[in-house]
């Protein structure tokens, strides 16, 4: 250790030791009890030793050491800020994902939001009986309508269906079978025993999220380019 640092350290430790020796049991040293004062003196000495070693190692590269220290200080502050505002940052991240991945339901507070797709429609990522199924929002459809492929993925027994219901589609009239879906979920919104229809093969290109699901919500609205849904 450099002599200029060694002598002040020795003098300081000697003074602390002398104060401990001459003080009576009931005396306070600088407002501290004996054992607290001794711990403080030891910590100061240790800090001086570590500081001296660091200075000796980097005295020729002081600017590099200072840059490294500043880097870690700034990184620590950024991590602290990120942890403090983690809730707000998470919401911002969810909104970014909603815009980047149309159809992906994201939780914003108590609401579920979905961004409008490039074609102008709202493609809604749903889970039907645990199966992931993409549906197009269709407020003109009185019911949820599944394609045969989506119904099969959701565990609906297609061989037992009776296509006795007439529905209107973009291609005209079609036949569909009435079913009840055990569970339909969009993000955190979950509805059970949802009436639905299964279209005949070749009649529907994509499944429809209709009013038999939307009517069960506390509210739903199109706000700018986002579909906002709130469960009860």
| pLDDT per position as a tens digit, 100-139 | 666 678 887 788 888 888 778 888 989 999 899 999 998 8
State pTM to two decimals: 0.58
pLDDT score recorded for residue 1: 47
The residues, any chain, with a CB within 8 Å of residue 151's CB and separated by 6 or more, are: 158, 179, 198
Angle, in degrees to the nearest 10, between helices 34-58 and 3-22: 180
| pLDDT per position as a tens digit, 7-27 | 555 555 556 555 545 454 455
pLDDT score recorded for residue 145: 93
Which portions of the chain are predicted below pLDDT 50? 1-2, 20, 22, 24-25, 28
CB atoms within 10 A of CB 86: 10
Q: Please, what's the b/e burial string for 21-48 (b: 16 or more CB within 10 A of its CB; e: otherwise)? A: eeeeeeeebeeeebeebbeebeeeeeeb
pLDDT score recorded for residue 133: 93
pLDDT score recorded for residue 22: 47
Tokens describing residue 140: 């003109």
Q: SS3 for the chain, per residue?
A: CCHHHHHHHHHHHHHHHHHHHHCCCCCCECCECHHHHHHHHHHHHHHHHHHHHHHHHHCCCHHHHHHHHHHHHHHHHHHHHHHHCHHHHHHHHHHHHHHHCCCCCEEECCEEEEECCCCCCCEEEEEECCEEEEEEECCCCCCEEECHHHHHHCCCCHHHCCCCEEEEECCEEEEEEEEEEEEEEECCEEEEEEEEEEECCCCCCCEEECHHHHCCCCEEEEECCEEEEECC
Please state which architecture CATH assigns to domain 99-230: Beta Barrel (2.40)
Measured distance CA(205)–CA(212) in Å, rounded: 20
Q: 125 forms bridges with which residues in the sheet?
A: 134
Q: Where are the domains of the chain?
A: 3-84, 99-230
């Amino acid at each position: 250790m450099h002599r200029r640092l060694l002598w002040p350290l020795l003098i300081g430790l000697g003074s602390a030791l002398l104060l401990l020796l001459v003080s009576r049991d009931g005396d306070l040293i600088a407002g501290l009890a004996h054992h607290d004062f001794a711990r403080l003196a030891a910590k100061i000495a240790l800090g001086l030793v570590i500081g001296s070693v660091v200075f000796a190692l980097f005295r020729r590269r002081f600017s590099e050491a200072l840059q490294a220290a500043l880097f870690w200080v700034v990184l620590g502050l950024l991590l602290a800020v990120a942890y403090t505002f983690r809730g707000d940052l998470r919401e911002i991240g969810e909104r970014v994902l909603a815009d980047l991945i149309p159809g992906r339901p994201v939780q914003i507070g108590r609401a579920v939001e979905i961004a409008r797709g490039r074609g102008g429609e709202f493609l809604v990522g749903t889970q039907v009986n645990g199966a992931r199924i993409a549906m197009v929002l269709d407020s003109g459809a009185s019911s949820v309508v599944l394609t045969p492929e989506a119904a099969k993925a959701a565990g609906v027994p297609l061989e037992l269906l009776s296509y006795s219901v007439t529905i209107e589609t973009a291609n005209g009239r079609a036949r569909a079978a009435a079913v009840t879906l055990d569970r339909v979920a969009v993000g955190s919104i979950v509805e059970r025993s949802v009436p639905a229809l299964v279209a005949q093969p070749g009649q529907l290109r994509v499944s429809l999220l209709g009013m038999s699901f939307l009517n069960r919500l506390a509210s739903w609205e199109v706000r700018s380019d986002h579909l906002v849904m709130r469960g009860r």
